[in-house]
């Protein structure tokens, strides 16, 4: 399987390689490729949370998610020699996980975009709408309602929101993982925050 170059590099029509300074990602990749004891286990340990969160948000079935996580790291092991440092290793592995989960949904004929309204999301320049998501998480009761509201989000919005807030990934990183345009990602984040704010106001009776 040939993994495509990250979007940032593909657009620039370059194929950069990490410089001579030993980058932690490059060192770990080289260790795995050299079959050093414990290297692949370390790679799995460092990136299994991302894969689990990403895949579970997409497929919504824990049993399927566990199997797809295993498939992801098997594919990573098979294709790691293709990694050239064109993006962060976390983004590269996330792209593998996203592709595997997406194929799973396609086989089951489950759409990633669940309705025409989400597919036609207008572009925005900012993800902020004045709703303080972090502050909402600080209160235990509000946090419970928030997580219930997140589970009710459309599949793609839920996935992008998880990458941005839970995994603390940048918009360019999410572009690399999903292949979506940055404006589309910002729009999904903006609309998901609006939905969460409205859901919290409905559940708690307090303006968020």
Contacts of 108 (CB under 8 A, 6+ apart): none
Residues sharing a CB contact under 8 Å with residue 45, sequence separation 6 or more, in sequence order? none
The residue assigned the tokens 């370390």 is 42
What is the Cα 170 distance to its own chain's centre?
10
> pLDDT tier at 137 (50, 70, 90 boundaries)?
low
Residue 49: which of 155, 167, 169 has the closest Cα?
167
Measured distance CA(29)–CA(23) in Å, rounded: 10
pLDDT confidence tier of residue 126, bands split at 50, 70 and 90: very low
pLDDT of residue 144: 79
Q: Which of 80-84, 136-140, 146-150 has the lowest mean pLDDT?
A: 136-140
pLDDT score for 134: 59
- What angle do the packed helices 24-33 and 39-59 form, to 10 degrees? 110
| CATH numbers and ranges of domains, the chain | 7-107 (1.10.1740.10), 116-204 (1.10.10.10)
pLDDT bin (cut points 50, 70, 90) of residue 207 is low
Q: Are 208 and 135 in contact (CB under 8 A)?
A: no
Name the least confident of 10-19, 52-61, 68-77, 121-130.
Answer: 10-19
* Secondary structure string (H, E, C) spanning 134-159: HHHHHCHHHHHHHHHHHHCCCHHHHH
Q: Quick one: pLDDT at residue 15? A: 39
Instruction: Please state the rounded mean pLDDT for residues 126-148.
Output: 62
Q: What is the pLDDT of residues 24-39, one digit of tens each?
A: 999 999 999 999 999 9
The continuous run of DSSP H or E covering 28 comes out as: helix 24-33
pLDDT the model gives residue 149: 84
Q: CA-to-CA distance for 71 and 60, rounded, in angstroms?
A: 17
Kindly tell me if the per-residue pLDDT of 206 is higher than 90.
no
- Mean pLDDT along residues 53-72: 97
Name residues whose C-beta falls within 8 Å of residue 156's C-beta, 6 or more positions apart in sequence. Answer: 112, 113, 114, 118, 188
Q: Which among 173, 11, 30 has a CA at the least distance from the CA of 92?
A: 173
Owner of token pair 């292949």: 179
Q: In the predicted model, is pLDDT for residue 1 greater than 70?
A: no
Predicted confidence at residue 148, as pLDDT, reads 83
Return the closest-CA partner of residue 159 out of 141, 135, 185, 139: 185
Cα angle at 167 between 51 and 49, to 5 degrees?
30
Judge whether residue 142 has pLDDT over 50: yes
């Amino acid at each position: 399987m040939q993994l495509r170059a990250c979007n940032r590099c593909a657009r620039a029509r370059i194929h950069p390689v990490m410089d001579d300074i030993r980058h932690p990602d490059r060192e770990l990749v080289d260790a795995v490729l050299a079959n050093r004891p414990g290297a692949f286990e370390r790679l799995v340990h460092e990136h299994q949370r991302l894969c689990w969160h990403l895949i579970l948000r997409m497929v919504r079935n824990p049993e399927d998610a566990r199997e797809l996580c295993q498939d992801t790291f098997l594919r990573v092991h098979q294709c790691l020699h293709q990694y050239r440092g064109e993006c962060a290793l976390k983004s590269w592995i996330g792209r593998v996980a996203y592709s595997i989960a997406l194929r799973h949904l396609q086989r089951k004929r489950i759409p990633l975009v669940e309705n025409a309204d989400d597919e036609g999301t207008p572009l925005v320049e900012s993800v902020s709408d004045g709703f303080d998501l972090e502050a909402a998480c600080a209160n235990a009761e509000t946090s419970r309602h928030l997580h219930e509201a997140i589970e009710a989000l459309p599949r793609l919005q839920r996935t992008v929101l998880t990458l941005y807030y839970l995994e603390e990934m940048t918009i360019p990183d999410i572009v690399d993982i999903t292949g979506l345009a940055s404006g589309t990602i910002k729009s999904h984040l903006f609309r998901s925050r609006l939905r969460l704010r409205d859901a919290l106001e409905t559940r708690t009776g307090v303006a968020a």
